[in-house]
């Protein structure tokens, strides 16, 4: 029915494992004619010990199967609590939901290769428990579906970004500043198959790690700490020489690429260049800004608008540097378009769930390198 409106719930916990983002989304229409509107959104922090366990696993620590199963159950419980909180805050009953879309933290990723074929992703299993708790169909495993189709597994919000931000006149790029930074380039009057989307590299993951070590703080919330230092040019030059930054898309990055040994190498480089702590934080923040801006400007069409989303967009210094580096493009926060900054990924999950339940391929396959568009996600019945 053309006038039908359904309510979906999106739940997301990313590589930083700092909390669960939840969003209620009202969707009119189906398929490429969907018209999503965010109705309510919130973020629920994860309690400290659970966050530490997730960070260790995301960094590549080996974990026994039994511990991994328990970790999945604990994360699923956090998803269920966040879901109930946003339903209560949005004055919505679970029984009125058409479905839930969910992306849980990944605990392993093997990149696809020409010889080995499709890659493999190990995402914590949270869908079944959330479906049982809410008595609502839950869709998860979107990245695994893309990998099975020959893609690199993300970014999974490429198609939702196309749906939300396509325009006949304006070209737009969405910059998702989570632990990992990604861009979605939607050219003017672009079809879904023409979208370019990939991870540019670290978002806030290195910044957060330094803040924890140097200031015992979870993040540089408004960028004040980075703003006090100076960019160490020699160190920045060496950091930007990393192999990942020079790979052509499609490509995907993860927490393990910028944790553990990577952070140890960063400390070693800083020591070699005699870069003190304050300047190291500023330099790492500049690394995120420079790599994002370089990849945006590498597109054949310079965007009219740059849209910043994700928790890292609250870092005033980081957002300001991206804005300066991309001038004269107009740069806006996602809130201008009706999305809470932290809700971008959760809203995308809700849109992807609608696609899966309708049997529609909400999939920018060319962006991820998949062979053809496929219906994304696995369905868990209540």
What pLDDT, on the 0 to 100 scale, is given for residue 108? Answer: 59
371 and 325 in one domain?
no
What pLDDT, on the 0 to 100 scale, is given for residue 72? Answer: 84
DSSP code, position 117? B
| Averaged pLDDT, 58-77 | 77
Instruction: Give the mean pLDDT of the chain.
Output: 92
150 and 163 in one domain?
no
In 3D space, the residue among 88, 94, 17 whose CA is nearest the CA of residue 57 turns out to be: 17
| Averaged pLDDT, 246-268 | 92
Evaluate if residue 202 carries a pLDDT over 50: yes
Angle at 278 between CA 272 and CA 282, to 5 degrees: 90
Range of the domain at 372: 5-156+343-380
Distance separating alpha carbons of residues 373 and 370, to the nearest angstrom: 7
Confidence of residue 121 (pLDDT cuts 50, 70, 90): low
Confidence of residue 380 (pLDDT cuts 50, 70, 90): very high
Q: For residues 325 and 293, is the Cβ–Cβ distance under 8 A?
A: yes
What pLDDT, on the 0 to 100 scale, is given for residue 113? Answer: 52
282 and 148 in one domain?
no
Evaluate if residue 117 carries a pLDDT over 50: no
pLDDT tens digits for range 206-251: 999 999 999 999 899 899 999 999 999 999 999 999 999 999 999 9
Where is pLDDT greater, at 303 or 105?
A: 303
Q: Per DSSP, what are the bridge partners of residue 106?
A: 123
What pLDDT, on the 0 to 100 scale, is given for residue 111? Answer: 52
pLDDT tens digits for range 329-352: 999 999 999 999 999 999 999 999
120 and 148 in one domain?
yes
114 and 177 in one domain?
no
140 and 80 in one domain?
yes
In 3D space, the residue among 46, 218, 34 whose CA is nearest the CA of residue 126 turns out to be: 46
289 and 246 in one domain?
yes
169 and 191 in one domain?
yes
151 and 163 in one domain?
no
90 and 39 in one domain?
yes
Evaluate if residue 65 carries a pLDDT over 90: no
Evaluate if residue 118 carries a pLDDT over 70: no
CATH number of the domain bearing residue 146: 3.30.420.40
Task: State the total domains in the chain.
Answer: 2
CA 374 vs. chain centroid, Å, equals 20
Residues 180-195: b if buried by 16+ CB within 10 A, e if exposed: bbbbbbbbeebebeeb
Tell me the CA distances in angstroms from 1 to 28, 34, 195, one per residue in order. Answer: 9, 12, 28
253 and 362 in one domain?
no
Distance separating alpha carbons of residues 86 and 40, to the nearest angstrom: 7
What pLDDT, on the 0 to 100 scale, is given for residue 115? Answer: 47
Query: Would strands 180-186 and 196-202 be described as parallel, antiparallel, or unpaired?
Result: antiparallel
Evaluate if residue 80 carries a pLDDT over 70: yes
171 and 139 in one domain?
no
What pTM, to 2 d.p., does this model score? 0.93
Tell me the helices (H) and strands (E) count for the chain, helix number first: 13, 13
| Averaged pLDDT, 296-322 | 95
């Amino acid at each position: 029915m053309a006038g039908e409106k359904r309510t979906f719930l999106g739940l997301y916990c990313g590589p930083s494992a700092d909390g669960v983002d939840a969003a209620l989304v009202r969707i009119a229409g189906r398929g490429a004619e969907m018209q999503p509107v965010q109705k309510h959104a919130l973020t629920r922090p994860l309690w400290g010990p659970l966050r530490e366990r997730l960070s260790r696993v995301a960094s590549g620590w080996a974990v026994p199967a039994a511990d991994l199963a328990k970790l999945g159950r604990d994360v699923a419980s956090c998803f269920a609590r966040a879901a109930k909180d946003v339903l209560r805050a949005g004055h919505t009953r679970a029984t009125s939901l058409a479905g839930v879309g969910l992306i849980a933290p990944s605990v392993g990723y093997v990149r696809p290769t020409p010889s080995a074929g499709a890659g493999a992703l190990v995402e914590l299993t949270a869908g079944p428990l959330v479906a049982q708790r809410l008595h609502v169909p839950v869709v998860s495993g979107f990245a695994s579906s893309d990998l099975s189709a020959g893609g690199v597994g993300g970014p999974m919000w490429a198609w939702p970004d196309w749906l939300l931000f396509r325009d006949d006149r304006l070209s737009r790029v969405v910059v998702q500043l989570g632990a990992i930074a990604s861009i979605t380039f939607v050219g003017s009057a672009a079809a879904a198959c023409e979208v370019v989307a990939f991870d540019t590299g670290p978002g806030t993951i290195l910044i957060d790690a330094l803040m924890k070590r140097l200031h015992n703080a979870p993040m540089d919330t408004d960028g004040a700490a980075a703003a006090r230092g100076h960019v160490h040019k020699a160190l920045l030059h060496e950091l930007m020489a990393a192999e990942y930054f020079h790979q052509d898309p499609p490509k995907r990055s993860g927490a393990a690429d910028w944790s553990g040994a990577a952070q140890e190498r960063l400390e070693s480089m800083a020591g070699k260049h005699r870069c003190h702590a304050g300047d190291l934080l500023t330099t790492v923040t500049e690394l995120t800004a420079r790599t994002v801006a370089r990849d945006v400007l590498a597109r054949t069409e310079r965007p009219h608008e740059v849209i910043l989303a994700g928790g890292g967009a609250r870092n005033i210094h980081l957002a300001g540097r991206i804005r300066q580096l991309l001038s004269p493009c107009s740069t806006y926060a996602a809130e201008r378009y009706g999305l809470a900054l932290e809700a971008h990924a959760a809203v995308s999950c809700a849109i992807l769930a609608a696609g899966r339940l309708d049997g529609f391929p909400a999939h920018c396959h060319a962006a991820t390198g998949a062979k053809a568009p496929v219906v994304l996600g696995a369905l868990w019945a209540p």
